[in-house]
Chain A
Amino acid sequence: MAAHSPEQLAHEQRRYLQVFAWLAILTAVELAVIYMPIPHLAIGSMLVLLAGTKASLVALYYMHLAVERRTLTYIALTPAVLCVLLVFALLPDLGAITRALTHAPPPAAAVEAHH
């Protein structure tokens, strides 16, 4: 990142506009996806994938992670990994919240009631 020759800068600026085009296209795709007649889970997975791609494009090319030291990328990835762990840490609570809100009996009682 230290030296910037005119050719390098011209190349970088072309790359910036390419990334901009991709971000705009992927946003349009996201908007199209939510109206597609497919299961909600499929829509959700596609949206997460598209958002992840867009966020990576910004981090790699606009925040220059693609040309920085690799260690800086690991540092930048740390919060992403921790956030995924956080979501898994919250998972056990989710069932309890659902049952409390719907006043449904816990799974064991539901099975017994069925018999």
Chain B
Amino acid sequence: MSHAAVAHEHVLEPTETPLTPESWGKLGMWIFLCADAMSFGGLLAGYGALRYGDPTWPRPSSILGIQLTALMTFLLICSSVTMVEALASIRQGDQRGLRKFLMLTILGGIMFLSLQAYEWNKLIFHEGQSISRNNFGATFFILTGFHGCHVFSGVVYLSAVLARALAGAYSVHQNNGVEIAALYWHFVDLIWILVFTFVYLL
């Protein structure tokens, strides 16, 4: 696709984008991430408005376990590192490294989700928090839930990339698929950094 223009009747479509010369897919992922960032931005701004306007809002650290979520944050940062290592591996032609680091990244995502399930279980069934009880619960469960959905999607996405890696689909010269998946995974990490700060610490 990248060397010749594709002709549709009389219209010539460029096969390269000047922004991301490697692939259109990368530009597509960036545009998706911008839209997705706006979704999170809307939720965070709504949370900020509700919280700032409510003097009875509880201190998050009095309800939420900061230590556990600090561990979750650390896990997600670690999984970002294994993801960059996966991409670096395949760029050196190291197939085993790619598979190993992809598996570690997926494992990090699964551990994050397990800890989040544990946290939600504790909050809902032992501490009486819920999405409908008050604005604190509503914003907390929607924000962390929306992010958790992203982590889950990321685990599915990376598993598909791993399946393709096991089939030998990637090489030194052909690794755009890994790079694009990595962009998504790092974005999910970036969003968690913001959610952790604004929802748990602030």
- Which residues of chain A from 12 to 67 have any CB-CB distance to chain B below 8 Å in the complex? 12-13, 16-17, 20, 23-24, 27, 30-31, 33-34, 43-44, 47-48, 50-51, 54-55, 58-59, 62-63
Say yes or no: is A114 at the interface (Cβ < 8 Å to chain B).
no
Residue of B nearest to A77 (CB): B34
Q: Do B53 and A93 touch (CB < 8 A)?
A: yes
CB < 8 Å A-B pair total: 137
Per the bound structure, the CA–CA distance linking A80 and B35 in Å amounts to 11
Who on chain B is nearest to A26 by CB?
Answer: B193
Q: Indicate the size class of the contact surface on chain A.
A: 35 or more
> Could you say which residues of chain A place their CB within 8 Å of the CB of B88?
9, 12-13, 16
A83 in contact (CB, < 8 A): yes
Interface residues of chain A, those whose CB is within 8 Å of chain B, are 1-2, 4, 6, 9, 12-13, 16-17, 20, 23-24, 27, 30-31, 33-34, 43-44, 47-48, 50-51, 54-55, 58-59, 62-63, 68-69, 71-72, 75-76, 78-80, 82-83, 86-87, 90, 93-98, 101-102
The 7 residue pairs across chains A and B that have the minimum distance between CB atoms: A97-B53, A83-B41, A51-B197, A79-B37, A90-B49, A62-B186, A94-B53
Binding site for A on B (CB under 8 A): 18-22, 27, 30-31, 33-35, 37-38, 41-42, 44-46, 48-50, 52-56, 61, 66, 70, 73-74, 77-78, 80-81, 83-85, 88, 91-92, 182-183, 186-187, 189-190, 193-194, 196-198, 201-202
